[in-house]
Amino acid sequence: MTKPKVLFLCTGNSARSQIAEAFLRAYAGEHFGAYSAGLEPKGYILPEVLAVMKERGLDMGSQRSKSVKEYLGQMHFAYVITVCGHAEDKCPTVFLNMGQREFWPFDDPAKFTGSDSERLEVVRTIRDQIDQRVRKWLEDQNISPATWLLSQKSS
């Protein structure tokens, strides 16, 4: 049986959707195919995102920023989850008829300016919010997240 596919959609595909994809793959990759894309992809993942995910034991080196156009007409997603207001408002209508749609709004770490340590702290906060939301969603699906990642969570 084919695993249901989940698409996390945002504007730049450089932070929030990438984080959600990584957590879903780590927690329940045996149950779901995890994907992410952006309406206006930046072409890179924010270095702060890579750093704070590595703190949690997740190497995102194989992930890349990509356009939603790569998936339009190519894949059917059981779930399309937008993680920013812009993507929710501009979500391609082709996805409206695909499976279930959800909106999980998170602040955009790419828009935060500050020192290196301040940016890292903001990204950690958003990472932890996304982590909690992905785990809640899995509980709603009656799936227990993989426990190895839970043990990586910092206090």
- What single-letter DSSP state applies at residue 61? T
- Determine how many CB atoms are found less than 10 A away from the CB of residue 4: 15
Query: Cα–Cα distance between 63 and 45 in angstroms, integer?
Result: 8
Catalytic center residues:
10, 84, 91
The Cα diameter of the chain in Å comes to 48
Report d(CA 127, CA 123) in Å as an integer: 6
- DSSP class of 99: S
